[in-house]
């Protein structure tokens, strides 16, 4: 079954490469020359337009920056796809955009799933991504073998948009908990606690969470966390801010009060304005500690 892969950037490039590694025939398109070269080196057949990529495909995977990109792309390619093509959007976008994209595909005679991921570029390269999938069961069953080539954990979350909903809810927890952990280290330092002492207690007590035990925002207690390399790599603050904004857009649309999610979005907005979008999101601790950078 031929697969069209549109968006061969930091995430899509290695995901497409893993499909090729598993014996799939992948035709790709990306306007960026660097993304094209890297994908070609990984065995993806490159073409000159999104329409050309979908012409011979039965599955179309998109990994694009935003909902506007996905909707524009779908409007362009849906008429060119063979009837009954499976559209799989792995980008992180608004729930409403995901539903609109699925509507475009189904109205055009195709099936569609939203399947955003967590695991970052490391998970994309290692094929250990988690996929959160929304859409009809038949489409999910058809997509699952291909998702398994790119990921380790695949969860069917419900109908169209449910994958995006799960993704933004999870990342709202993550953004809020990283700020809570960072504030605790700041307060601990003010009270004369060492970072290690606070970690030793909280990591095995009721304060335990991923933001503390895996992605610890202070250097030392968790040697693999980005804090030990000046917050290089990891999950970029700009992407955390994007996801917190998507969560707020959804909360606003649904009239759900999310006071901490809103505050987290404000703090990450201020942090990204000051520090830029590139460092790991745990670097927010450098804006919360009394003496500045940890
Ligand atoms: P990226 O900017 O590296 O890649 C996006 C690619 O899409 C670019 O190469 C761009 O040229 C290409 N593109 C734009 N319009 C296109 C079109 N019409 N047709 C084909 N290609 C087109 O971004 P990324 O880091 O790969 O992220 C992609 C998506 O994955 C985003 O929605 C992001 O939020 C999500 N995501 C990223 C991470 C991460 O750690 N990078 C983690 C989880 C989810």
Ligand 1 contact via 221 beta carbon (within 6 Å): no
What's CA 40's distance to the chain center, in Å? 23
> Which pLDDT score, from 0 to 100, does residue 291 have?
56
pLDDT at 290: 63
- pLDDT for 281 equals 97
pLDDT digit of tens for each residue in the chain (294 aa)?
Answer: 699 999 999 999 999 999 999 999 999 999 999 999 999 999 999 999 999 999 999 999 999 999 999 999 999 999 999 999 999 999 999 999 999 999 999 999 999 999 999 988 889 999 999 999 999 999 999 999 999 999 999 999 999 999 999 999 999 999 999 999 999 999 999 999 999 999 999 999 999 999 999 999 999 999 999 999 999 988 999 999 999 999 999 999 999 999 999 999 999 999 999 999 999 999 999 999 765 544
Structural domain total, the chain: 2
Q: For ligand 1, pick from 4, 6, 10, 238 the residue to mutate: most ligand atoms within 8 Å of CB.
A: 10
**Strand 117-118 relative to strand 86-89: parallel, antiparallel, unpaired?**
unpaired
Among 158, 175, 209, residue at a domain's last position: 158
Q: Strand, coil or helix: what is 153?
A: strand
- The CATH number linked to 204 is 1.10.1040.10
Angle at which helices 95-107 and 162-190 pack, to 10 degrees? Answer: 160
d(CA 9, ligand 1 centre) in Å: 5
Of 158, 190, 220, the domain-final residue: 158
* Closest C-alpha residue for ligand 1 atom 40: 120
Do 27 and 152 lie in a common domain?
yes
Find the domain containing 192 and state its range.
165-287
One domain for residues 145 and 175: no
The reply to whether 294 falls in a domain is no
| Ligand 1 pocket, residue 243 CB under 6 Å | no
**pLDDT for position 293:** 44
Phi, psi of 237, deg, nearest 5: -55, -35
- The pLDDT score that the predictor gives to residue 233 is 87
Instruction: Determine phi and psi for 113, rounding to 5 degrees.
Output: -135, 145
The pLDDT score that the predictor gives to residue 138 is 98
Contact 98, 160 (CB under 8 A): yes
Same structural domain for residues 106 and 173? no
Q: Hey, which residues are catalytic here?
A: 167
């Amino acid at each position: 079954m031929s697969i069209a892969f549109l968006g061969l950037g930091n995430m899509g490039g290695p995901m497409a490469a893993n499909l090729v590694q598993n014996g799939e025939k992948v035709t790709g398109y990306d306007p960026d020359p660097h993304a094209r070269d890297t994908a070609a080196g990984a065995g993806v057949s490159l073409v000159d337009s999104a329409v050309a990529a979908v012409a011979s495909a039965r599955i179309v995977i998109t990994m694009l920056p935003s909902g506007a990109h996905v909707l524009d792309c779908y409007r362009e390619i849906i008429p060119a796809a063979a009837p009954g093509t499976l559209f799989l959007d792995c980008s992180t976008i608004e729930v409403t955009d995901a539903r609109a994209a699925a509507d475009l595909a189904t109205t055009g005679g195709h099936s569609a799933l939203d399947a955003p991921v967590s695991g970052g570029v490391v998970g994309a390269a290692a094929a250990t991504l988690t996929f959160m999938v929304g859409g009809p069961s038949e489409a999910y069953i058809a997509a699952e073998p291909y998702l398994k080539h790119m990921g380790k954990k695949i969860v069917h979350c419900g109908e169209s948009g449910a994958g995006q909903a799960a993704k933004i809810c999870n990342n709202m927890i993550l953004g809020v908990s990283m700020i809570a952990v960072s504030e605790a280290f700041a307060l601990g330092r003010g009270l004369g606690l060492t970072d290690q002492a606070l970690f030793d207690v909280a990591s095995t007590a009721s304060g335990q969470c991923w933001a503390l035990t895996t992605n610890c925002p202070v250097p030392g207690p968790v040697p693999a966390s980005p804090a030990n390399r000046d917050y290089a790599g990891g999950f970029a603050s700009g992407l955390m801010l994007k996801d917190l904004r998507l969560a707020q857009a959804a909360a606003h649309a649904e009239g759900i009060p999310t006071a901490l999610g809103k505050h987290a979005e404000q703090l990450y907005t201020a942090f990204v304005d000051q520090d830029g979008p590139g460092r790991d999101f745990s670097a927010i601790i450098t804006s919360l500690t009394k003496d500045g950078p940890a």
